[in-house]
Amino acid sequence: MRPAVSVLLLTTLTGFAYGLLAWTGVYAFLGLLPATPHFAAASTLLGLVIASLGLGASALHLGRADRAWRAFSQWRSSWLSREAVGAVLTYPVVILFLLALRWDHEGIAPRLLGAAVAIMALGTVFCTAMIYASLKPIRQWHNSHTAPDYLIYAVFSGALLFALLHAVLVGGSASIFVIVPVTAAIALLAKRAYWRHVDAQTPLASLASAIGLPKDVEVRPLDAPHFTENYVLREMGFTIARRHSARLRRLALGLAFAAPLFLTVLAGLAVAPLPATAAAVACAALGLLTERWLFFAEATHVSALYYGRAA
Amino acid sequence: MTRLPAAVPGAKRLGLVIDLDTCVGCHACAVSCKEWNSGGEAGPLPDYDPHGPKPDGVWFNRVHSYEAAGQGCSRTVNLPRSCMHCEDALCVTVCPTGASYKRAEDGIVLIDPEICIGCKLCSWACPYGAREFDEEAGVMRKCTLCVDRIYDQSLPEAEREPACVAACPSRARHFGDLGDPESRVSKLVAARGGNDLLPELGYRPTNKYLPARSATIPTASEAAEQSGGGGGVGVALLRLLDRVLSR
């Protein structure tokens, strides 16, 4: 599948943003938010700004962005519509949460609204993941790894942003500096498990079954319908050299998970907490963009079979 | 609503039956489709760089040719590929706007170009690669089963069939109601063992493909024996003429 920049930005940025909102909500629910006056405001606003950037990037993917509002209508059947509804509903819930926090910092209302923020944020990430997980013609997406993986990467990258804010506004020693390395390790293992899974998959169909012959008949393309690329080939027939993908996989694991793990352990041990956490966020952003690029580039679509390409 | 209409047994399901035994891979169906749909209700169908080095554009129907291994000899399979108007059309349920829909009255899957936001998700959901994006209008396009022809009362009844079917010179394309087991196309499918493409994906396509009948090419000596010891080119030509005229 063609890795469109708009979609890479959407899924990566909303992962960071909704992860940050979710951790803010969870900390509020547990009554563990730092007492620093502007922490919750800063983290929720940062979350909303990054989420808005991601959602704005996704509008670039649309052929008719002026009609984007129509995407809120089909939430009964479409995960894309559910994602849009979840993303928009998260805004008022976050604002209510902030108002409740200002009104009554110690009360039950901000705690419950914190839980609601976390549920809305992770729910939206889940909807994003299900857009991909529900597509039957793409075996690398339509499996039991996709949805949990998107949640894990959001929880990890959000915790990392939360830690950065903590280092900036409060200081380097806190529970979040234990949480980040743990989520980084889980995310690293999840990505490796995903690659093991997709590498062991067998193709969903053969060219023979694509043209109505018994599955095991040997078939090869003779003449293509057209001699230049068309939409189907550009969008669904994207291929990546195995050599490149192996290199990029190592780069993604190192940048997205291993480097932030190491850097946040340093920060947690009070070794230059602010620069270390900031560097960890930069590494994770680049690494997760690489990881997301691979998620698309390595995904194959059954329709590419008709053109003699792998699926 | 992009939920699929409830499946009613015996409901009308319009679709195509394509005979891979007689399809000669001439692309007439694809060209006729492009011509018809470049005007009329579905038009225009864009072409990008049509006279340049990389011509490209939106087509609803694409004809592939393959070489399939057979007994003793391989054979050519020509495969016209277009929307299958599936029963379980994932392209419809993934649509966030309701632009992509399946008609309850005849099972045709259509796109409303006035509502489509061009998110391209439906094309990702289609295993047949039947949907193509219109870069100029910013919306997705697909085969309409010539919905603007098949119900057009101003056309003579014999012409109320999809342009691809009307154009086929080897009569390899048939149009009809596959929900009615007594229809001509349903009987054709039953008689010829018509099947689905990519049945393992589970989309339950309406369009059916009739498999090529197994044929063996006789060796030179067998051929001589069969033709009763020869007769020469003249007799063979007369025999061919006889077969063509008695069709």
* DSSP letters spanning A17-39: HHHHHHHHHHHHHTT-S-SSTTH
Q: Is pLDDT larger for residue B192 or for residue A214?
A: B192
The residue count of chain B comes to 247
CA of B170: how far to CAs of A67, A284, B27, B28, B86, in Å?
44, 60, 11, 10, 26
Count CA within 13 A, CB hemisphere, residue B149: 21
CATH of the domain at B106: 3.30.70.20
Q: Is residue B2 in a domain? A: no
Query: What is the DSSP-derived secondary structure letter of residue A255?
Result: I
Cis peptide before B44 (omega within 30 of 0): yes
Task: Find out whether A256 and A284 touch, Cβ atoms under 8 Å.
Answer: yes
Question: Which candidate from B3, B79, B201 shows the least CB-CB separation from A136?
Answer: B201
Distance from CA of B147 to the nearest CA of A (A): 24
Q: Is residue B166 in a domain? A: yes
Q: Are residues B192 and B246 in the same domain?
A: no
Q: Is residue B180 in a domain? A: yes
Q: Is residue B6 in a domain? A: no
Q: With both helix axes pointing from N to C terminus, report the angle between A146-169 and A176-200 in degrees, rounded to the nearest 10.
A: 160
Residue B1 in this model has a pLDDT that exceeds 60? no
- Mean pLDDT confidence for B51-62: 95
Distance from CA of B165 to the nearest CA of A (A): 18
Q: Are residues B138 and B223 in the same domain?
A: no
Give contacts of A76 with chain B, Cβ < 8 Å.
Answer: 1, 3
Q: CA quadruple A177, A183, A186, A192: dihedral positive or negative? A: negative
Nearest to B29 by CA among B134, B209, B174: B174
A267 φ/ψ angles, rounded to the nearest 5 degrees: -60, -40
Output the pLDDT for position B242: 85
* Tokens of residue A61, six digits: 């993917």
Output the pLDDT for position A311: 87
Task: Find out whether A186 and A156 touch, Cβ atoms under 8 Å.
Answer: yes
Which domain does B241 fall in, by range?
219-247
Among chain B residues, CA nearest to A299: B124
- Mean pLDDT confidence for B217-239: 71
Q: Are residues B165 and B56 in the same domain?
A: yes
Q: Is pLDDT larger for residue A151 or for residue B43?
A: A151
Output the pLDDT for position B226: 66
Among chain B residues, CA nearest to A131: B94
The residue count of chain A comes to 311
Contact across the interface for A209 and B77, Cβ inside 8 Å? no
Q: Are residues B27 and B118 in the same domain?
A: yes
- Mean pLDDT confidence for B28-46: 89
Q: Domain residues of chain A, as ranges? A: 5-307
Q: Are residues B131 and B150 in the same domain?
A: yes
Give contacts of B77 with chain A, Cβ < 8 Å.
Answer: 211, 213, 219
User: What CATH number labels A5-307?
Assistant: 1.20.1630.10
Q: Is residue B165 in a domain? A: yes
Task: Find out whether A174 and A149 touch, Cβ atoms under 8 Å.
Answer: no
Rg (CA), chain B: 21
The neighbouring-strand residues paired with B75 are: B68
Q: Is residue B8 in a domain? A: no
Distance CA A70, CA A148 (A): 28
Residue B117 in this model has a pLDDT that exceeds 80? yes
Output the pLDDT for position B205: 98
Distance CA A187, CA A239 (A): 26
Size of interface A-B (CB pairs under 8 A): 202
Output the pLDDT for position B138: 96
Pick out chain A residues at pLDDT < 70: none
Contact across the interface for B97 and A211, Cβ inside 8 Å? no
pLDDT band at B73 (very low <50, low <70, confident <90, very high): confident
pLDDT band at B6 (very low <50, low <70, confident <90, very high): confident
pLDDT, chain B, mean: 91
Distance from CA of A240 to the nearest CA of B (A): 18
Residue with token string 């009255």: B105
Environment class of residue A216 by beta-carbon count within 10 Å: exposed (0-12), middle (13-18) or buried (19+)? exposed
**Between vectors from CA A116 to CA A114 and to CA A120, what angle results, nearest 5°?**
120
Distance from CA of A109 to the nearest CA of B (A): 34
Amino acid found at A229: E
Q: Which of A75, A142, A206, A303 is the best substitution to test chain B (most B C-beta atoms within 10 A)?
A: A303
Q: Are residues B105 and B163 in the same domain?
A: yes
Distance from CA of A7 to the nearest CA of B (A): 10
Among chain A residues, CA nearest to B214: A213
Nearest to A141 by CA among A309, A308, A298: A298
Using DSSP, state whether B241 is helix, strand or coil: helix
Q: Are residues B168 and B196 in the same domain?
A: yes
- Mean pLDDT confidence for B51-56: 93
A46 φ/ψ angles, rounded to the nearest 5 degrees: -60, -45
The neighbouring-strand residues paired with B14 are: B177
Q: Are residues B202 and B226 in the same domain?
A: no
Output the pLDDT for position A44: 96
Output the pLDDT for position B194: 96
Distance CA B42, CA B47 (A): 14
Contact across the interface for A138 and B124, Cβ inside 8 Å? yes
Q: Is pLDDT larger for residue B73 or for residue A229?
A: A229
Using DSSP, state whether B65 is helix, strand or coil: strand
Among chain A residues, CA nearest to B120: A62
pTM of the complete model: 0.92
Q: Is residue B4 in a domain? A: no
Q: Are residues B117 and B193 in the same domain?
A: yes
Please give the tally of structural domains in chain B.
2
Distance CA B52, CA A231 (A): 17
Question: Which candidate from B30, B68, B125 shows the least CB-CB separation from A135?
Answer: B125
Distance from CA of A294 to the nearest CA of B (A): 17
Q: Is residue B9 in a domain? A: no
Residue B215 in this model has a pLDDT that exceeds 80? no
Among chain A residues, CA nearest to B48: A230
Contact across the interface for A64 and B77, Cβ inside 8 Å? no
Count CA within 13 A, CB hemisphere, residue B95: 31
